[in-house]
A and B are shown apart, each in its own frame.
Chain A
Amino acid sequence: MEAFGLLVHGFAVLLTGKTLVLMMVGLVLGIFVGVLPGLGGPNGVAILLPLTFTMDPTSAIVMLSCIYWGALFGGAITSILFNIPGEAWSVATTFDGYPMAQQGRAAEALTAAFTSSFIGSLVAVLLITFLAPMISSFALKFGPPEFFAVYLLTFCSFVGLGREAKHKTVISMSLGLLLAGVGMDTVSGQLRMTFGSAELLRGINFLVAVIGLFGISEILLTMEERLALLGHAASISLRVVLSVWRDLPRYWVTLVRSSFIGCWLGITPGGAIAASFMGYNLAKRFAKNPDSFGKGRIEGVFAPETAAHASGTSALLPMLALGIPGSGTAAILLGGLMVWGLNPGPLLFVEHKDFVWGLIASMYLGNVVGLVLVLTTVPIFASILRVPFAAVAPMIVVSCAIGAYAIQNAMFDIWLMLGFGVVGYVFKKISIPLAPFTLALVLGNRAEDAFRLSMIGSGGDLRVFWSNGLVGSITTLAIVLLFWPLIDKLFSGVGRLQPPAEA
């Protein structure tokens, strides 16, 4: 019940004219970047982050998270009307969404997508409201070894559970951790990996890297594609909305199942894409006539959208409670927290109550406002795609440069951004994943500090990571996850061997 009281307080923080205006601005900007080709959640948040530098942290996070919700809503518009998934996790939405649009049921599909996004997020926000304070008060007891074990768990689960080739994930992660270490060492004050350069003294800023990796590289990648578009126009009438909503209770099993999958996978790192496909596939498997999927079935829109949004939202849970982002976008928001001078982690709930509960309240309010906004303005946003990419691309480049420069007022950062743009382009093309790099870069220093502090505490004895039940089980779990593919293979190998042995 304490959470409820604090939540009401959060709404009180939020319900000022200024915050509401920022919320609307954030949502509109978010839908805008979500609809534009080649831009999505993480890119949009990274590019627009500098706008918030001079705001107070609460307004800033409200605006940024609204950009994120907006981008999530916007992705569904292009998936359904144009068969172009704005994000990897919108791919599953195109399977049934685009056929529906082709049959002239675009309005229905869009309403279904927005409504189920809303439901998915709402379930995840409820989870955050009640679970995050509990986890963070539990985590207050953590010492450096426990924190290092949790960081290790995050990194290992990326390697063990990721879909990419293992060595590529390892490369991307170790590179991120290394670059995080460039500059002044936080413990001893000594310089390292600067090679005498005064510019590297400051270190490699996380946000500069992100703007390059996600903004510039995305422009380069988008230009490779054929940019011609052929889409359906749609306007949503109140009658369609109401008829979809009336049918909604019939699909409650799908909605509940997808929300659950989404929340579960969102908390584990890198889960949103897996969540949307899993939601879709399970809905198909449990349906009475699975063959009708892919031909414009409304359930095929409900299932992946609910799961994707539930996981996109619940990815913020570990970020708020432990200071560990569950997705690329959450990592960028975390980078933002540091810029505004907040220290992410369990202490956030104690030291910055206004901020945390303002953010959680803004998740509720942002989703409600967002739902109304997208339902009423779809035609306007769909027509943004008429603007030629040749006009949009240079504007995005300029915005990226402004963002990169504004962080530390350094021209060097603009060049660094360009360099990271090229790196991101090449990495994406040879499928080295960028999310582990982002995560490692933002967590690198804190992981190292935790490691060194626990080493100092134990006098260099690695057994400190198994010194009590809690830290021991986290560390063991991390190592199990790291070698999960091997263990999995071993077990299925044993399973295959068993029957002949008995026969």
Chain B
Amino acid sequence: MSQTDLEIVVEDPTAPEDDSPAVVSSGTIEIIVSLLLLALAATLGYDNWRTGISWDSTGPEPGYFPFYLSLILGGGSLYGLIAALLSRRAPAETFVTRAQARRVMAVFVPTLLFCLVTQFLGLYVASFLLIAGFMRLVGKIALWKSLLTAFLFTAIMFVTFDIAFDVIMPKGPLEAAFGY
């Protein structure tokens, strides 16, 4: 009786293949992240040192607390850097495979474009474009379903936030044409 009640089956036609080659190893990313954090710690540490890390008549200056934190951050990332460099000879763990990277980019790039469009055309237009485009191009869902879903979702968001809850979103020329 166990197999007959399998009822919910969802396919994933564009799933990443399991045997896709690695683009970059985790060790390499750890080194890059450690270097970036080290640079950040140095920048913030310098800025706090400039603000003042000593004591004056009222107690510690504003830079005091964050300055020592940047030292801790720097120390931690230095340790991470050395640990990652030392373990380079061990078999590399995959950070991301090529197929995975392609899928991640398929979400990240539209999201980036969405933010860009929001800046110029307002959030609602951008949201309509993102949902319709993503469903159609990435999900290969029928055009009318994509457009309808995108329109309904955007409309519900507009009514919920801008009208019912009075949470005002960034708007562009289209909303202006309708008088909002």
Query: Hey, which bits of chain A sit against chain B, CB under 8 A?
Result: 50-51, 53-54, 81-82, 102-104, 106, 165, 167-168, 170-171, 174-175, 177-178, 181, 185, 187-188, 190, 192-193, 195, 216, 219-220, 223-224, 226-233, 382-383, 385-386, 388-391, 393-395, 397-399, 401-402, 405-406, 409, 411, 414-415, 418, 421-422, 425-427, 429-430, 432, 448, 451-452, 455-456, 460
Q: How far is the CA of A395 from the CA of B160 in the complex (A)?
A: 14
CA distance A120 to B136 in the complex (A): 44
Other A-B contacts than A167-B79, A231-B9, 17 sampled, CB-CB below 8 A, are: A54-B166, A106-B5, A170-B76, A178-B70, A178-B73, A192-B62, A219-B107, A227-B10, A227-B15, A229-B8, A230-B8, A230-B9, A390-B141, A391-B139, A398-B127, A398-B154, A402-B157
Partner of A393, one of B6, B60, B107, B154: B107
Q: Does B131 lie within 8 Å of A429, measured CB to CB?
A: no
Instruction: Select which of B48, B62, B104, B115 is within 8 A of A224 by beta carbon.
Output: B104
Which among A231, A402, A448, A451 has the highest number of chain B CB atoms within 10 Å? A402
B-chain residues with CB within 8 Å of residue A170 when the two chains form the complex: 72, 75-76
Q: Known contacts A188-B58, A397-B130: does B167 contact A223 (CB below 8 Å)?
A: no
CA distance A193 to B161 in the complex (A): 34
Whether the Cβ atoms of A414 and B69 lie closer than 8 Å is: no
Contact among A187, A421, A425 with B62 in the assembled complex (CB-CB below 8 Å): A187
Cβ of B170 within 8 Å of any chain A Cβ, yes or no, is: yes
Q: Does B151 contact A (CB under 8 A)?
A: no
A390 to B107 Cα, complex, angstroms: 9
Complex CA gap A405/B119 in Å reads: 11
Q: Which A residues are CB-close (under 8 A) to B141? A: 388, 390-391
Q: Which of A174, A386, A426, A455 contacts B69 (CB 8 A)?
A: A174
Task: Name the B residues within 8 Å of A455 (CB-CB).
Answer: 59-60
The complex places the Cα of A82 from the Cα of B106 at a distance, in Å, of 26
Asked if residues B103 and A223 are in contact (CB atoms below 8 Å), the reply is yes
Contact flag A192-B48 (CB < 8 Å), given A181-B65, A394-B110: yes
Select which of B29, B51, B153 is within 8 A of A429 by beta carbon: B29
B9, B12, B63, B72: the one contacting A227 at CB < 8 Å is B12
Check B123 against A402 for contact (C-beta < 8 Å). Answer: yes
B33: chain A residues at CB < 8 Å are: 426-427, 430, 432
> Do A430 and B70 have beta carbons less than 8 Å apart?
no
A193-B37 CB under 8 A given contacts A51-B165, A390-B134? no
| B10 nearest in chain A by CB position | A229
Q: Tell me the bound Cα distance from A456 to B56 in angstroms.
A: 10
What's the Cα separation between A81 and B58 when bound, in Å? 61
CA distance A125 to B174 in the complex (A): 50
Bitwise, B125-167 to A at CB < 8 A (1) or not (0) is 0010011001100111100000001000110010011000111
A167 to B138 Cα, complex, angstroms: 39
Q: Smallest Cβ distance from B132 to chain A, in angstroms?
A: 9
A465 vs chain B, min Cβ distance (A): 15
Collect the chain A residues with CB atoms within 8 Å of residue B86's CB.
none
Are A233 and B5 also in contact (CB < 8 A) when A171-B80, A224-B16 are? yes
Q: A425: which B residues are within 8 A, CB to CB?
A: 104
Report the minimal beta-carbon distance from A52 to chain B, rounded to whole angstroms.
9
Contact residues in B for A51 (Cβ distance below 8 Å) = 160, 165
Are B10 and A220 in contact, with the CB atoms below 8 A?
no
Of B135, B160, B170, which one neighbours A394 at CB under 8 angstroms?
B135
The smallest C-beta distance from B72 to any residue of chain A, in angstroms, reads 4
Enumerate chain B interface residues (CB-CB to A < 8 A): 1-2, 5-12, 15-16, 26, 29-30, 33, 37, 40, 44, 47-48, 51, 55, 58-66, 69-70, 72-73, 75-77, 79-80, 83, 95-96, 100, 103-104, 106-108, 110-112, 114-115, 118-119, 123, 127, 130-131, 134-135, 138-141, 149, 153-154, 157, 160-161, 165-170
5 A-B contacts (beta carbon < 8 Å)? A104-B5, A171-B73, A187-B62, A227-B10, A233-B6
By a CB distance below 8 angstroms, the chain A residues around B72 are 170, 174
Cα of A174 to Cα of B37 in the assembled complex, Å: 11
State in angstroms the CA–CA spacing of A342 and B35 once bound together: 39
Cβ B11 vs Cβ A193 within 8 A: no
Question: A386 and B8: CB pair below 8 A?
Answer: yes
Q: Is the CB of A220 within 8 A of B138?
A: no
Cα-based distance from A429 to B96 in the complex (angstroms): 9
Chain B residues whose CB sits within 8 angstroms of the CB of A397 once the complex forms:
107, 110-111, 114, 130
CA distance in complex: A231, B144 (Å): 28
Q: Shortest distance in angstroms between A46's beta carbon and chain B's nearest beta carbon?
A: 16
The smallest C-beta distance from B137 to any residue of chain A, in angstroms, reads: 9
Shortest Cβ gap from B91 to chain A (Å): 16
- How far does the alpha carbon of A69 sit from the alpha carbon of B11 in the complex, in Å? 30
The chain B residue sitting closest to A54, CB to CB, is B165
Contact of B139 among A390, A399, A427 (CB under 8 A): A390
Give the docked Cα–Cα distance between A54 and B168 (Å). Answer: 11
Tell me the complex Cα distance, A192–B62, Å: 7
Known A-B contacts A50-B167, A51-B165, A193-B48; A228 and B10 likewise in contact (beta carbons under 8 Å) = yes
- B103 and A224 form a contact (CB under 8 A): yes
Query: Using Cβ atoms and an 8 Å threshold, which residues of chain A touch B80?
Result: 167-168, 171
How far, in whole Å, are A190 and B51 apart by their CA atoms in the complex?
A: 9
How far apart are A15's CB and chain B's nearest CB, in angstroms?
Answer: 24
A232–B4 Cα distance when bound, in Å, is: 9
Q: How far is the CB of B27 from chain A (nearest CB, A)?
A: 9
Closest to A400 in B: B111
Residues of chain B lying within 8 A (CB to CB) of residue A432 = 33
Complex Cα distance, B166 from A385, in Å, reads 32
B115 with A452: CB separation less than 8 A: no
The answer to whether B59 and A228 have CB atoms under 8 Å apart is no
Report Cα–Cα, A171/B38, bound state, in Å.
Answer: 10
Say yes or no: A398-B131 contact (C-beta < 8 A), given A181-B66, A220-B108, A405-B169. yes
Please indicate the chain A residues that have their CB under 8 angstroms from the CB of B8 in the complex: 81-82, 229-233, 382-383, 385-386
Taking CB as reference atom, which chain B residue is nearest A177? Answer: B69
B96 & A102 in contact (Cβ 8 Å cutoff): no
CA distance A195 to B51 in the complex (A): 11
